[in-house]
Protein backbone atom coordinates (compact mmCIF):
# COMPACT_ATOMS: atom_id res chain seq x y z
CA UNK A 1 0.00 0.00 0.00
CA UNK A 2 1.21 3.49 -0.80
CA UNK A 3 2.03 6.05 1.82
CA UNK A 4 -0.70 8.52 2.70
CA UNK A 5 0.37 11.84 1.23
CA UNK A 6 -1.18 14.60 3.34
CA UNK A 7 -1.73 18.34 3.22
CA UNK A 8 -2.50 20.41 6.32
CA UNK A 9 -6.07 21.67 6.84
CA UNK A 10 -8.02 23.53 9.51
CA UNK A 11 -11.74 23.87 10.12
CA UNK A 12 -11.41 27.30 8.47
CA UNK A 13 -10.02 25.81 5.23
CA UNK A 14 -12.22 27.00 2.36
CA UNK A 15 -14.10 24.82 -0.11
CA UNK A 16 -11.66 25.95 -2.81
CA UNK A 17 -8.71 24.87 -0.69
CA UNK A 18 -10.22 21.44 -0.06
CA UNK A 19 -11.05 21.08 -3.76
CA UNK A 20 -7.49 22.10 -4.67
CA UNK A 21 -6.05 19.43 -2.35
CA UNK A 22 -8.32 16.81 -3.90
CA UNK A 23 -7.26 17.90 -7.40
CA UNK A 24 -3.62 17.25 -6.48
CA UNK A 25 -4.56 13.60 -6.09
CA UNK A 26 -4.15 13.91 -2.34
CA UNK A 27 -6.66 11.84 -0.37
CA UNK A 28 -5.50 12.38 3.22
CA UNK A 29 -5.06 15.43 5.40
CA UNK A 30 -3.55 16.44 8.70
CA UNK A 31 -6.21 18.29 10.68
CA UNK A 32 -5.00 21.07 12.94
CA UNK A 33 -7.70 22.07 15.39
CA UNK A 34 -8.19 24.65 18.10
CA UNK A 35 -8.69 23.21 21.56
CA UNK A 36 -12.35 24.29 21.60
CA UNK A 37 -12.91 22.10 18.53
CA UNK A 38 -11.67 18.97 20.33
CA UNK A 39 -15.05 17.37 20.89
CA UNK A 40 -16.94 14.58 19.15
CA UNK A 41 -19.59 16.80 17.53
CA UNK A 42 -17.22 19.33 16.00
CA UNK A 43 -14.80 16.66 14.78
CA UNK A 44 -17.66 14.69 13.22
CA UNK A 45 -18.83 17.82 11.40
CA UNK A 46 -15.31 18.57 10.10
CA UNK A 47 -14.83 14.95 8.99
CA UNK A 48 -18.15 15.00 7.17
CA UNK A 49 -17.17 18.14 5.29
CA UNK A 50 -13.76 16.64 4.42
CA UNK A 51 -15.50 13.48 3.18
CA UNK A 52 -17.57 15.56 0.77
CA UNK A 53 -14.21 16.36 -0.90
CA UNK A 54 -13.13 12.71 -0.64
CA UNK A 55 -10.57 13.65 1.99
CA UNK A 56 -9.84 11.62 5.13
CA UNK A 57 -8.05 13.07 8.15
CA UNK A 58 -5.32 10.74 9.41
CA UNK A 59 -3.44 13.03 11.78
CA UNK A 60 -4.78 15.30 14.48
CA UNK A 61 -2.84 18.26 15.81
CA UNK A 62 -3.65 20.88 18.42
CA UNK A 63 -0.87 23.41 18.88
CA UNK A 64 -1.70 24.50 22.41
CA UNK A 65 -1.61 20.89 23.63
CA UNK A 66 1.27 19.53 21.60
CA UNK A 67 3.71 22.37 22.29
CA UNK A 68 2.88 23.07 25.91
CA UNK A 69 5.39 25.18 27.82
CA UNK A 70 3.92 24.30 31.22
CA UNK A 71 4.34 20.57 30.60
CA UNK A 72 7.67 20.84 28.76
CA UNK A 73 9.32 22.97 31.43
CA UNK A 74 7.58 21.24 34.37
CA UNK A 75 5.95 24.47 35.56
CA UNK A 76 3.26 24.86 38.20
CA UNK A 77 -0.11 23.64 36.94
CA UNK A 78 1.22 20.84 34.77
CA UNK A 79 -1.21 18.31 36.31
CA UNK A 80 -4.13 20.30 34.89
CA UNK A 81 -2.41 20.55 31.48
CA UNK A 82 -1.90 16.77 31.43
CA UNK A 83 -5.56 16.26 32.32
CA UNK A 84 -6.46 18.36 29.24
CA UNK A 85 -4.01 16.38 27.11
CA UNK A 86 -5.49 13.06 28.24
CA UNK A 87 -9.01 14.34 27.53
CA UNK A 88 -7.78 15.24 24.04
CA UNK A 89 -6.37 11.72 23.61
CA UNK A 90 -9.75 10.19 24.52
CA UNK A 91 -11.57 12.52 22.13
CA UNK A 92 -9.11 11.70 19.35
CA UNK A 93 -9.54 7.96 19.94
CA UNK A 94 -13.33 8.22 19.82
CA UNK A 95 -13.04 10.14 16.55
CA UNK A 96 -10.99 7.31 15.05
CA UNK A 97 -7.44 8.65 15.32
CA UNK A 98 -4.47 6.44 16.19
CA UNK A 99 -1.95 9.21 16.78
CA UNK A 100 -1.77 12.71 18.21
CA UNK A 101 1.17 15.04 17.65
CA UNK A 102 3.67 16.05 20.33
CA UNK A 103 6.74 18.30 19.97
CA UNK A 104 8.86 19.07 23.04
CA UNK A 105 9.62 22.59 21.85
CA UNK A 106 8.37 25.15 24.37
CA UNK A 107 9.61 27.97 22.14
CA UNK A 108 8.59 26.38 18.86
CA UNK A 109 10.83 25.83 15.86
CA UNK A 110 13.83 28.14 15.97
CA UNK A 111 14.97 29.87 12.80
CA UNK A 112 17.23 32.90 12.37
CA UNK A 113 14.80 34.28 9.84
CA UNK A 114 12.89 33.86 6.60
CA UNK A 115 14.54 35.40 3.57
CA UNK A 116 15.77 34.91 0.04
CA UNK A 117 19.05 32.99 0.41
CA UNK A 118 21.64 31.38 -1.82
CA UNK A 119 19.76 28.11 -2.45
CA UNK A 120 16.14 29.31 -2.49
CA UNK A 121 15.74 30.34 -6.14
CA UNK A 122 14.44 33.74 -5.13
CA UNK A 123 11.87 32.25 -2.76
CA UNK A 124 11.51 33.37 0.84
CA UNK A 125 12.47 30.41 2.99
CA UNK A 126 13.47 29.68 6.57
CA UNK A 127 17.19 29.54 7.38
CA UNK A 128 19.33 28.98 10.42
CA UNK A 129 22.63 30.76 11.02
CA UNK A 130 24.32 30.08 14.34
CA UNK A 131 26.43 33.23 13.94
CA UNK A 132 23.32 35.39 14.31
CA UNK A 133 23.34 34.21 17.93
CA UNK A 134 19.69 34.57 18.96
CA UNK A 135 19.42 30.89 19.82
CA UNK A 136 21.80 31.37 22.77
CA UNK A 137 19.48 33.73 24.67
CA UNK A 138 17.53 32.05 27.50
CA UNK A 139 13.96 33.30 27.08
CA UNK A 140 12.18 31.44 29.90
CA UNK A 141 13.78 33.21 32.86
CA UNK A 142 16.52 30.64 33.33
CA UNK A 143 18.30 27.74 31.67
CA UNK A 144 16.49 24.37 31.72
CA UNK A 145 19.08 21.62 31.57
CA UNK A 146 18.82 18.63 29.31
CA UNK A 147 18.44 16.35 32.38
CA UNK A 148 15.52 18.42 33.66
CA UNK A 149 13.84 18.28 30.26
CA UNK A 150 14.28 14.49 30.09
CA UNK A 151 12.81 14.17 33.60
CA UNK A 152 9.85 16.33 32.57
CA UNK A 153 9.21 14.10 29.57
CA UNK A 154 9.50 10.94 31.69
CA UNK A 155 6.93 12.39 34.12
CA UNK A 156 4.61 13.27 31.22
CA UNK A 157 4.94 9.78 29.76
CA UNK A 158 4.05 8.24 33.15
CA UNK A 159 0.87 10.37 33.19
CA UNK A 160 -0.26 9.85 29.61
CA UNK A 161 1.17 6.40 28.79
CA UNK A 162 -1.58 4.34 30.45
CA UNK A 163 -4.36 6.48 28.94
CA UNK A 164 -2.84 6.37 25.46
CA UNK A 165 -2.31 2.61 25.69
CA UNK A 166 -5.91 2.08 26.81
CA UNK A 167 -7.20 4.26 23.95
CA UNK A 168 -4.93 2.75 21.30
CA UNK A 169 -3.46 6.18 20.52
CA UNK A 170 0.24 6.86 20.07
CA UNK A 171 2.12 10.13 20.17
CA UNK A 172 3.80 11.30 16.98
CA UNK A 173 6.88 12.76 18.69
CA UNK A 174 8.75 15.31 16.56
CA UNK A 175 12.51 15.93 16.99
CA UNK A 176 13.73 19.31 18.22
CA UNK A 177 14.15 21.70 15.33
CA UNK A 178 16.95 22.64 14.91
CA UNK A 179 18.48 19.58 16.59
CA UNK A 180 21.07 21.40 18.70
CA UNK A 181 21.78 20.93 22.43
CA UNK A 182 20.07 24.09 23.66
CA UNK A 183 17.44 26.31 22.04
CA UNK A 184 16.88 29.63 23.83
CA UNK A 185 18.05 28.19 27.14
CA UNK A 186 16.07 24.94 26.96
CA UNK A 187 17.79 21.59 26.56
CA UNK A 188 16.57 19.62 23.57
CA UNK A 189 14.71 16.37 24.25
CA UNK A 190 15.54 14.90 20.83
CA UNK A 191 18.57 15.95 18.83
CA UNK A 192 19.87 12.54 17.74
CA UNK A 193 18.57 9.03 17.10
CA UNK A 194 19.80 7.78 20.48
CA UNK A 195 17.47 10.26 22.18
CA UNK A 196 14.57 8.33 20.63
CA UNK A 197 16.10 4.99 21.59
CA UNK A 198 16.45 6.19 25.20
CA UNK A 199 12.77 7.15 25.25
CA UNK A 200 11.70 3.78 23.79
CA UNK A 201 13.43 2.14 26.76
CA UNK A 202 11.28 3.99 29.31
CA UNK A 203 8.10 3.65 27.20
CA UNK A 204 6.47 0.77 29.12
CA UNK A 205 3.20 1.37 27.29
CA UNK A 206 4.53 1.26 23.72
CA UNK A 207 2.86 4.58 22.93
CA UNK A 208 5.80 6.64 21.67
CA UNK A 209 5.89 6.94 17.89
CA UNK A 210 8.36 8.91 15.78
CA UNK A 211 7.28 11.82 13.64
CA UNK A 212 10.26 11.19 11.41
CA UNK A 213 11.18 14.69 10.27
CA UNK A 214 13.75 14.07 7.55
CA UNK A 215 14.42 17.82 7.57
CA UNK A 216 15.57 17.63 11.20
CA UNK A 217 17.66 14.52 10.53
CA UNK A 218 19.44 16.44 7.76
CA UNK A 219 19.86 19.70 9.66
CA UNK A 220 22.54 18.41 12.01
CA UNK A 221 25.29 15.83 11.94
CA UNK A 222 24.16 14.93 15.49
CA UNK A 223 21.63 12.65 13.80
CA UNK A 224 22.92 9.49 12.20
CA UNK A 225 22.49 8.12 8.70
CA UNK A 226 18.93 9.02 7.75
CA UNK A 227 18.39 5.90 5.62
CA UNK A 228 19.69 3.53 8.32
CA UNK A 229 17.64 5.20 11.03
CA UNK A 230 14.51 5.13 8.88
CA UNK A 231 14.97 1.43 8.26
CA UNK A 232 15.55 0.67 11.95
CA UNK A 233 12.62 2.74 13.21
CA UNK A 234 10.17 1.59 10.51
CA UNK A 235 11.04 -2.06 11.15
CA UNK A 236 10.56 -1.49 14.88
CA UNK A 237 7.07 -0.17 14.11
CA UNK A 238 7.84 3.23 15.59
CA UNK A 239 7.41 5.55 12.59
CA UNK A 240 3.90 7.01 12.62
CA UNK A 241 4.41 10.04 10.36
CA UNK A 242 7.08 11.37 7.98
CA UNK A 243 8.08 14.93 7.12
CA UNK A 244 9.77 14.91 3.73
CA UNK A 245 12.02 17.92 3.10
CA UNK A 246 15.59 18.84 2.27
CA UNK A 247 18.08 21.46 3.51
CA UNK A 248 21.25 23.03 2.08
CA UNK A 249 23.62 21.85 4.81
CA UNK A 250 24.01 21.14 8.51
CA UNK A 251 24.24 23.29 11.64
CA UNK A 252 25.83 25.89 12.00
CA UNK A 253 24.13 27.00 8.76
CA UNK A 254 21.31 25.68 6.65
CA UNK A 255 18.51 26.87 4.40
CA UNK A 256 15.26 25.03 3.76
CA UNK A 257 15.31 24.22 0.04
CA UNK A 258 13.37 22.45 -2.67
CA UNK A 259 13.88 18.69 -2.49
CA UNK A 260 16.06 18.71 -5.59
CA UNK A 261 18.29 21.54 -4.30
CA UNK A 262 19.31 20.34 -0.83
CA UNK A 263 22.34 18.19 -0.05
CA UNK A 264 20.47 14.92 0.55
CA UNK A 265 19.41 12.52 -2.19
CA UNK A 266 15.67 12.55 -1.55
CA UNK A 267 15.03 9.80 -4.08
CA UNK A 268 17.23 7.40 -2.11
CA UNK A 269 15.33 8.35 1.04
CA UNK A 270 12.01 7.80 -0.72
CA UNK A 271 13.19 4.38 -1.88
CA UNK A 272 14.10 3.50 1.71
CA UNK A 273 10.56 4.40 2.78
CA UNK A 274 9.00 2.32 0.02
CA UNK A 275 11.40 -0.62 0.42
CA UNK A 276 10.75 -0.78 4.19
CA UNK A 277 7.00 -0.87 3.61
CA UNK A 278 6.17 2.40 5.33
CA UNK A 279 2.50 3.15 4.56
CA UNK A 280 1.65 5.94 7.02
CA UNK A 281 1.21 9.68 6.53
CA UNK A 282 3.86 11.73 4.70
CA UNK A 283 3.91 15.46 4.01
CA UNK A 284 6.32 18.11 2.76
CA UNK A 285 6.25 19.82 6.18
CA UNK A 286 7.45 23.28 5.11
CA UNK A 287 7.58 25.28 1.89
CA UNK A 288 8.67 28.71 0.68
CA UNK A 289 6.50 31.64 1.70
CA UNK A 290 3.37 31.60 -0.45
CA UNK A 291 2.04 34.43 -2.59
CA UNK A 292 -1.42 35.67 -1.50
CA UNK A 293 -2.67 35.77 -5.10
CA UNK A 294 -1.36 32.22 -5.68
CA UNK A 295 -3.18 30.48 -2.87
CA UNK A 296 -0.89 31.43 0.01
CA UNK A 297 0.59 28.55 1.98
CA UNK A 298 -1.41 25.85 0.22
CA UNK A 299 -0.34 27.22 -3.15
CA UNK A 300 3.28 27.06 -1.99
CA UNK A 301 2.77 23.44 -0.89
CA UNK A 302 1.48 22.34 -4.30
CA UNK A 303 4.77 22.01 -6.18
CA UNK A 304 6.78 20.23 -3.42
CA UNK A 305 3.82 17.92 -2.74
CA UNK A 306 3.59 17.03 -6.43
CA UNK A 307 7.34 16.51 -6.64
CA UNK A 308 7.24 14.26 -3.57
CA UNK A 309 4.40 12.24 -5.11
CA UNK A 310 6.44 11.90 -8.29
CA UNK A 311 9.40 10.53 -6.33
CA UNK A 312 7.08 8.16 -4.47
CA UNK A 313 5.53 6.80 -7.65
CA UNK A 314 8.95 6.44 -9.33
CA UNK A 315 10.26 4.54 -6.29
CA UNK A 316 7.18 2.29 -6.31
CA UNK A 317 7.67 1.51 -10.01
CA UNK A 318 11.37 0.88 -9.57
CA UNK A 319 10.80 -1.45 -6.63
CA UNK A 320 7.94 -3.29 -8.32
CA UNK A 321 5.22 -2.14 -5.94
CA UNK A 322 3.37 -0.07 -8.56
CA UNK A 323 2.58 -1.74 -11.86
MN1 LIG B 1 9.08 18.55 10.76
Q: What is the pLDDT of residue 1?
A: 79
Give the contacts of 211 (CB within 8 A, at least 6 positions apart).
101, 103, 172, 173, 174, 175, 240, 241, 242, 243
pTM over 0.95: yes
* 316 Cα: distance to centroid of ligand 1 (angstroms): 24
* 44 Cα: distance to centroid of ligand 1 (angstroms): 27
- Measured CA to CA, the distance from residue 259 to residue 245 in angstroms comes to 6
* 323 Cα: distance to centroid of ligand 1 (angstroms): 31
Look at residue 67 and tell me whether its pLDDT is greater than 90.
Answer: no
Look at residue 66 and tell me whether its pLDDT is greater than 90.
Answer: no
Q: What confidence tier does 224 reach under pLDDT thresholds 50, 70, 90?
A: confident
Look at residue 313 and tell me whether its pLDDT is greater than 90.
Answer: yes
**Residues 109/184, Cβ–Cβ less than 8 Å:** no
Average model confidence (pLDDT) for the chain? Answer: 96
- Measured CA to CA, the distance from residue 178 to residue 129 in angstroms comes to 11
Taking only the tens place, the pLDDT of each residue in 1-15 is 799 999 999 999 999
Q: Give φ, ψ of 250 to 5 degrees.
A: -110, 165
Look at residue 270 and tell me whether its pLDDT is greater than 90.
Answer: yes
Give the contacts of 28 (CB within 8 A, at least 6 positions apart).
4, 5, 6, 55, 56, 57, 58, 281
Q: What is the pLDDT of residue 123?
A: 97
* 19 Cα: distance to centroid of ligand 1 (angstroms): 25
* 268 Cα: distance to centroid of ligand 1 (angstroms): 19
Domain 4-318: CATH architecture, name and number where available:
Alpha-Beta Barrel (3.20)
* 220 Cα: distance to centroid of ligand 1 (angstroms): 14
- Measured CA to CA, the distance from residue 58 to residue 96 in angstroms comes to 9
* 190 Cα: distance to centroid of ligand 1 (angstroms): 13
* 243 Cα: distance to centroid of ligand 1 (angstroms): 5
Largest separation between any pair of C-alpha atoms in the chain? 58
Amino acid sequence: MSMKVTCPVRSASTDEELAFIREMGVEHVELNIKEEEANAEMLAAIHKRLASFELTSVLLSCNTLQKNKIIDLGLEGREEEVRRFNAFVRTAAEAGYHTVSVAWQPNGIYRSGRAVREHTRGGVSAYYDEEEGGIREAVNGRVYTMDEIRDNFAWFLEQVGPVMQECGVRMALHPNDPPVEYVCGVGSLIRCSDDYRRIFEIDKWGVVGVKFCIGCWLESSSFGDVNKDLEEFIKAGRVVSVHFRNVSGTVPYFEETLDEDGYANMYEIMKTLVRCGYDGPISVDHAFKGYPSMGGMLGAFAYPTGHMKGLMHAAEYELGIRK
